[in-house]
Structure 1
Amino acid sequence: MRLRHKPWAKDYLEEHAGIVIKEPETKSGKWSAIFGNENPVHVEVGTGKGQFVVGMALANPDINYIGIEHFDSIIVSAVEKVVDSGIPANLRLLRANGKELTDIFEKGEVARVYLNFSDPWPKSRHAKRRLTHGEFLSLYQSVMPEDGEIHFKTDNRGLFEYSLVAMSEYGMRLLDVSLDLHAEMPEDNVMTEYEEKFSAKGQPIYRLEARFMSKA
């Protein structure tokens, strides 16, 4: 994805420091205190422009949501959406890399991880960069309880098939698999920007839910 430079982004993020948590690694083990409740925490890795995580936060006030995005030029768009939505109390954003999850959260702090329209990294030599590669699955598991879940959407069939195999081989239990999510649209489905774009072109949206299982 080509990133458009936004010279005003840094100042805008500073103005909304209450939305984008600074130094999130210092908040490990403290997320309940930050949100002011004991509600479950759901994390979207690669939140993009924020449509999904904002929509989920508005629809589910009894769940705390955290959107993680690595680039200022992208997360600033998510901040704008948060501001436009009225700044839900159950939503925070982090400017961070998904590989830093274990620095940001303690074991058991994250009940669910969302992966939406991640980069497919189609070349075999780049397989370890896919967010459903075994090394990433291990990372997610490190911050989740034994029954933590991953919810995954993509328009890329190759990545979807890879992810089904990767999660199965890791020992996860597949709870729900859809080869065409919009054929029977769930009432609680919240679309991402990419999902709207691809579905409007008639492309199928693939989705799965998977749960970690105890290795004991």
Structure 2
Amino acid sequence: MRLRHKPWADDFLAENDQVVVQYPFDYKSKWQEAFQRKQPLHVEIGSGKGQFIAGMGKQHPDINFIGIERVKSVIVGAVKKVLDAGPENVRMVNENARDLRDMFAENEVDHLYLNFSDPWPKTRHEKRRLTYHTFLEQYKDILKPGGVITLKTDNKKLFEYSLISFSKFGMEVEEVELDLHQSGDPWNVETEYEEKFAAKGQPIYRCRVTFV
């Protein structure tokens, strides 16, 4: 689906700097300064339209959340959702997360979320998958010891690939859900994609993993 250009996006993001971090690379090693309180730091890579990050911020006021979304015409919707939901513990970043080590210091992050990431199904695009080993190396560097990665997807092949990738990297799988919505997790915050696919009866896969 082609994304519609929003000529007002730059002004909107600049005007809402209480939520949007304008110079995120300057915050490396000092992200707690971007928030009102020093709390555990959770990061979502690819926040889309923001339903998850806004909902998590509201549900968990004792955690600081950062949502990273590279597409400007998409992140404006996420910022609106955060503003409407009202949590003061959510910040949004409009950047491409090619190397998170440029943005976060070693052991700075407590939890990473990979929600409905692009599966890049063709073999020649394997290196672009967010669970490819070069990305896992980044995650290991920025996560604190015992830090967690939570992956949610509707794509069974990506899920299976990711579990193998985690295992090869020597990670410990703490949880595997093959049909998340049947498990009845009362704390699950849905993304827009998740709502759409679950309504069609598509199983939602989730796992939580840590570095050993």
Q: For this structure pair, what is the TM-score category when the shorter chain's length is used for normalisation?
A: over 0.9
User: Hey, what's the Cα distance between the residues in 2 that align with 1:14 and 1:79?
Assistant: 11
1:145 maps to 2:147: no
Alpha-carbon offset, residue 98 of structure 1: 1.6
TM-score computed with the length of structure 1 as normaliser:
0.95
Alpha-carbon offset, residue 11 of structure 1: 1.5
Aligned positions of 1:46-195 closer than 5 A: 46-86=46-86, 88-195=87-194
User: Equivalent residue of 2:166, what SS?
Assistant: helix
Structure 1 runs of 4+ aligned residues shifted over 3 Å read: none
Q: For residue 166 of structure 1, what is the amino acid of its counterpart?
A: S
- Structure 1: stretches of 5+ with no match in the other structure: none
Alpha-carbon offset, residue 37 of structure 1: 2.8
Alpha-carbon offset, residue 126 of structure 1: 0.2
Comparing 186-195 and 94-103, the one that deviates more: 94-103
Aligned twin of 1:2: 2
User: Hey, what's the Cα distance between the residues in 2 that align with 1:2 and 1:138?
Assistant: 32
TM-score computed with the length of structure 2 as normaliser:
0.97
User: Hey, what's the Cα distance between the residues in 1 that align with 2:118 and 2:59?
Assistant: 27
User: Hey, what's the Cα distance between the residues in 2 that align with 1:58 and 1:133?
Assistant: 31
User: Hey, what's the Cα distance between the residues in 2 that align with 1:46 and 1:4?
Assistant: 18
Alpha-carbon offset, residue 36 of structure 1: 3.5
1:196 maps to 2:204: no
User: Equivalent residue of 2:93, what SS?
Assistant: strand
User: Hey, what's the Cα distance between the residues in 2 that align with 1:38 and 1:23?
Assistant: 20
Alpha-carbon offset, residue 33 of structure 1: 2.2
User: Hey, what's the Cα distance between the residues in 1 that align with 2:208 and 2:79?
Assistant: 27
Comparing 202-211 and 30-39, the one that deviates more: 30-39
Comparing 31-40 and 117-126, the one that deviates more: 31-40
Number of paired residues?
212
User: Hey, what's the Cα distance between the residues in 2 that align with 1:113 and 1:3?
Assistant: 26
- Alpha-carbon RMSD across the aligned residues, in angstroms, is 1.0
Q: For residue 208 of structure 1, what is the amino acid of its counterpart?
A: C
Identity %: 53
User: Hey, what's the Cα distance between the residues in 2 that align with 1:112 and 1:22?
Assistant: 22
User: Hey, what's the Cα distance between the residues in 2 that align with 1:34 and 1:203?
Assistant: 38
User: Equivalent residue of 1:99, what SS?
Assistant: coil
- Structure 2: stretches of 5+ with no match in the other structure: none
User: Hey, what's the Cα distance between the residues in 2 that align with 1:15 and 1:34?
Assistant: 16
Does the aligned pair in 1 maintain the 2:41–2:108 contact within 8 Å? yes
Alpha-carbon offset, residue 159 of structure 1: 0.3
Q: For residue 84 of structure 1, what is the amino acid of its counterpart?
A: D
Aligned twin of 1:15: 15
